[in-house]
């Protein structure tokens, strides 16, 4: 099942529109008032001004855009977007092509220019085939303005010419309905307005649509490079709404949901669905551009309905009725080549024919819908910003999603990253942030949650959690509520990465009652939020982390996945969740065969890690990427985790070309054997200082003590009183330093690089050689995602067919 969300234009506006939506977003309404100089809420109650195009367009754009945000918060995700005339701007905002303010400024100027035009009128023509109508209009000075449905076309031109054309149409058996407008919108008579608008349109940096948006001018999906010209032409070109609906039907769309006031577009959809859909024109598979904007000729259709709704760029107020709720969309069908075309390298061997379509069916379609993805695929966070803002933005623009690596960064650094990502994507959609477990719930974890709530971050990857914490529960259930049907809804998503069943079970269950009570008593959750939380799992998406980079238990996915899937099934049955928990897979995913195996084992989605570190977008040094590109499957090792050094937790790191694993394990061995630095023999102490640290223990301690004095004075006091703890902190300095050296690509220090990496990197390197991606400079993260998923689908298709043949 596939769905399009559509946004109405002028003609659907009415007095009182936006009730219940505008007051839901006071900050955006305040921003709109700053830009426009008047209140949109007051404007929506002003019948006089709602007759003026200059006011109608900003008001309707605001209502459409905020209605979209409300619909997204209440659940659901479209596969396609479209908007009729002015509504196209709301659709482009929803797709992340520009932010709310940019769209409002464009619409304000558009309304001013279109409001200045005059001297014409418009008429709806019912019951006449488009090709016959065009014959009658030839040489009359009248243009087709809206091709709305098989039963309705709107024409525009000078009043006298419209009158003469109307007589000819009626004599030929058509019916004409005059529209109460004083301007020939969407016709040649709007050329001056279109040209005047060009400069404003060209000043905007458009992002690639995160969801395909059907253009009024071309009736095919927008692309960023042609967007300014296409929007300019929209003013003086016909609205090819019927051709756009037919394109969507050919793509498999079978549901339409109207977002905003009225139900005019819903009725046009219902009418169009009654008629056969012509075969796709040859140009339909070509990329969208302004050159492909010639209007298509509709086939002959003679049916007429007195109930056919009329929609044009007109200040006539439309009767509003509430459309029925459409089912939740199945998946987001973003074209495979979404993202900047310049990043596609001709050296890359194309995926096998049809495998992209197969890839779009792998995993859970509900997962794709909830996360707004075209594949059930995510890139995981890599700490210290290695999963960088560039990486996350690139994924978002390609119709995918990545989690920013917030671990090890300060709150100001994390906040700056959120702001950068939002600017890069244009909306708050399409990205996630990492949230690390904190030993002190009143420390960094709590403060990070506060930051994420303040910036309305909707997706987090919860990592290294041994149990569910109060800050995590607060994040997950802030904004939780029951919808109109009484179903509990959480507006924030927690993807929990786990490797142990007992931890997974805690995330699959509702939060502990004592934690909820404490949060309510503190004012951190409302009673309503806590009540909804009691009927929802802490995480609807639990990712099973097998042998991976970073913190790992080194477990086999073949053992973990069946156990976790069975656990999930039991918790779903036990709690009767309205939306079942989903299980994902991560760790070791470096080849299509591994991704295919994850889905066979029952994964609803996959999360990749190591392979993305060796990409142009990763936030590490080129020297590290060169090193990673030379690894094979055996070139990793286990080492102590610096942040959990005393506990003996391990990480998996690259060992080829670096001595870090051996040196890190040596430091942990010495920590286990000795109670203080003073107990080390002279030779060992000298080796560590001269070869590992390249500075004295005293210098390392001075640097460490200065850091603790500024941030953790209690721990400094403890270390000065406990020689063994002091030794641990000195040794832990090396772990921080080795990461810093790798991130900087320090010359001559590769032997000390700490690079978190699993065997998936070596597996991917072998695979990359076969598809033209041997150079890491060509391995853009969205390219990696597309190739792994499409080739995994091909592997499954080929091998399953082979099994069937063998058995037969």
Q: Enumerate residues 6+ apart whose C-beta is below 8 A from 736.
A: 642
Q: How far apart are CA 158 and CA 179, in angstroms?
A: 13
The residue from 85, 187, 610, 738 that is catalytic is 85
Pairing of strands 80-83, 213-214: parallel
Which residues sit opposite 583 in a β-bridge?
542
- Residue 186 known to be catalytic: yes
Q: How far apart are CA 589 and CA 597, in angstroms?
A: 9
Which residues sit opposite 582 in a β-bridge?
541
Quick check: 698 and 746 in contact, CB under 8 A? Answer: no
- Among 293, 275, 301, 317, CA closest to 153: 301
Tell me how far apart the 2 most distant CA atoms of the chain are, in Å. 108
Helix intervals (H) in 13-116:
26-36, 40-43, 53-73, 87-94, 100-116
Quick check: 61 and 84 in contact, CB under 8 A? Answer: no
- Among 589, 608, 624, 590, CA closest to 754: 624
Q: Is 718 helix (H, G, I), strand (E, B) or coil?
A: helix
Q: How far apart are CA 802 and CA 134, in angstroms?
A: 55
- Among 461, 515, 470, 520, CA closest to 492: 461
Burial class (CB in 10 A: 0-12, 13-18, 19+), 740: middle
- Among 591, 510, 542, CA closest to 770: 591
| Residues comprising the chain, all counted | 808
- Among 605, 2, 529, CA closest to 248: 2
Which residues sit opposite 498 in a β-bridge?
544
Q: Is 107 helix (H, G, I), strand (E, B) or coil?
A: helix
358: Cα separation from own chain's centroid = 21
Query: CA dihedral in degrees (218, 219, 222, 223; nearest 10)?
Result: -50
The residue from 13, 186, 375, 756 that is catalytic is 186
Q: Which helix (H) or strand (E) holds 123?
A: strand 121-126
What b/e string do you get for 392-428 counting C-beta neighbours within 10 Å, with b at 16 or more? bbbbbbbbbbbbbbbbbbeeeebbebbebbbebbbbb
Q: How far apart are CA 118 and CA 115, in angstroms?
A: 8
Other Cβ atoms within 10 Å of 553 Cβ, number: 15
Q: How far is CA 555 from CA 63, 500, 546, 548, 695, in A?
A: 51, 9, 5, 9, 38
Residue positions annotated with a catalytic role: 85, 186
């Amino acid at each position: 099942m596939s769905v399009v969300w559509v946004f109405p234009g002028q003609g659907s506006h009415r007095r009182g529109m936006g009730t219940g939506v505008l007051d839901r977003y006071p900050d955006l309404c305040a921003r709109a008032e700053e830009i426009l100089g008047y209140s949109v809420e007051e404007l929506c109650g002003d019948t006089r001004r709602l007759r003026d195009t200059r006011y109608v367009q900003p008001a309707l754009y605001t209502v459409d855009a905020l209605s979209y945000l409300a619909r997204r918060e209440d659940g659901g995700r479209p596969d396609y977007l479209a908007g009729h005339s002015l509504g196209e701007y709301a659709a482009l905002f929803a797709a992340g092509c520009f932010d709310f303010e940019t769209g409002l400024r464009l619409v304000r100027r558009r309304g001013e220019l279109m409001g200045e035009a005059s001297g014409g009128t418009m008429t709806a023509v019912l019951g006449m085939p488009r090709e016959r109508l065009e014959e009658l209009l030839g040489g009359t000075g009248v243009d087709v303005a809206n091709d709305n449905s098989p039963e309705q076309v709107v024409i525009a031109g000078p009043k006298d010419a419209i009158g003469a054309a109307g007589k000819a149409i009626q004599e030929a058996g058509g019916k004409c309905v005059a529209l109460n407008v004083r301007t020939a919108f969407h016709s040649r008579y709007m050329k001056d307005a279109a040209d005047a608008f060009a400069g404003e349109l060209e000043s905007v940096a458009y992002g690639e649509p995160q969801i395909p948006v059907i253009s009024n001018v071309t009736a095919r999906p927008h692309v960023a490079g042609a967007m300014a010209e296409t929007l300019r032409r929209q003013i003086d070109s016909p609205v090819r709404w019927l051709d756009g609906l037919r394109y969507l039907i050919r793509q498999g769309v079978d549901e339409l949901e109207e977002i905003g006031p009225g139900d005019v577009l819903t009725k046009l959809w219902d009418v169009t669905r009654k008629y056969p859909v012509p075969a796709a024109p040859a140009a339909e598979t070509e990329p969208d551009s302004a050159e492909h904007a010639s209007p298509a000729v509709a086939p002959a259709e003679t049916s007429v309905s007195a109930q056919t709704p009329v929609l044009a760029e007109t200040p006539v107020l439309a009767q509003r009725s509430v459309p029925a709720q459409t089912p939740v969309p199945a998946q987001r069908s973003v074209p495979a080549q979404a993202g900047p075309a310049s990043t596609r390298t001709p050296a890359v061997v194309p995926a096998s024919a049809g495998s992209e379509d197969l890839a779009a069916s792998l995993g859970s379609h509900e997962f794709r819908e909830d996360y707004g993805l075209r594949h059930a695929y995510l890139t995981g966070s890599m700490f210290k910003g290695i999963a960088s803002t560039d990486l996350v933005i690139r994924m978002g623009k390609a119709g995918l999603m990545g989690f920013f690596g917030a671990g090890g960064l300060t709150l100001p650094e994390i906040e700056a990253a959120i702001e950068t990502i939002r600017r890069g994507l244009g909306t708050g959609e399409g990205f996630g942030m990492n949230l690390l477990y904190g030993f002190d719930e009143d420390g960094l974890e709590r403060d990070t949650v506060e930051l994420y709530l303040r910036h309305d971050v909707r997706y987090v990857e919860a990592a290294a959690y041994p149990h569910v914490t109060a800050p995590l529960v607060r994040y997950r259930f802030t904004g939780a509520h029951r919808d109109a049907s009484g179903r509990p809804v959480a507006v924030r998503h927690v993807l929990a990465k786990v490797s142990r069943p007992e931890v997974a079970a805690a995330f699959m269950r509702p939060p502990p009652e004592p934690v909820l009570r404490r949060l309510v008593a503190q004012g951190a959750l409302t009673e309503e939020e806590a009540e909804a939380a009691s009927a929802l799992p802490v995480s609807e998406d639990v990712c099973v982390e097998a042998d991976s980079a970073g913190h790992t238990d080194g477990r086999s996915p073949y053992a973990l996945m069946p156990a976790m899937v069975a656990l999930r099934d039991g918790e779903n049955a036990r709690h009767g969740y309205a939306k079942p928990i989903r299980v994902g897979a991560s760790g070791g995913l470096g080849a299509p065969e591994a991704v295919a195996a994850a889905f066979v084992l029952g994964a609803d989605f996959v999360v990749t890690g190591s392979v993305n570190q060796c990409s142009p977008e990763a936030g590490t040094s080129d020297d590290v990427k060169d090193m990673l590109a030379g690894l094979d499957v055996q070139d990793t090792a286990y080492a102590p985790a610096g942040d959990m050094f005393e506990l003996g937790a391990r990480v998996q790191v690259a060992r080829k070309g670096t001595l870090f694993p051996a040196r890190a394990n040596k430091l942990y061995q010495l920590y286990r054997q000795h109670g203080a630095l003073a107990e080390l023999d002279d030779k060992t102490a000298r080796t560590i200082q001269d070869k590992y640290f390249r500075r004295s223990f005293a210098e390392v301690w001075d640097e460490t003590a200065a850091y603790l004095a500024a941030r953790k004075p209690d721990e400094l006091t403890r270390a000065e009183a406990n020689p063994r703890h002091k030794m641990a902190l000195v040794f832990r300095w090396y772990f921080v330093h080795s990461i810093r050296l790798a991130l900087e690509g320090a010359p001559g220090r590769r032997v000390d690089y700490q690079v978190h990496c699993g065997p998936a990197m070596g597996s991917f390197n072998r695979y990359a050689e076969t598809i033209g991606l041997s150079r890491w400079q060509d391995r853009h993260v969205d390219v990696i995602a597309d190739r792994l998923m499409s080739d995994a689908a091909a592997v499954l298709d080929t091998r399953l067919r082979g099994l069937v043949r063998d058995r037969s």
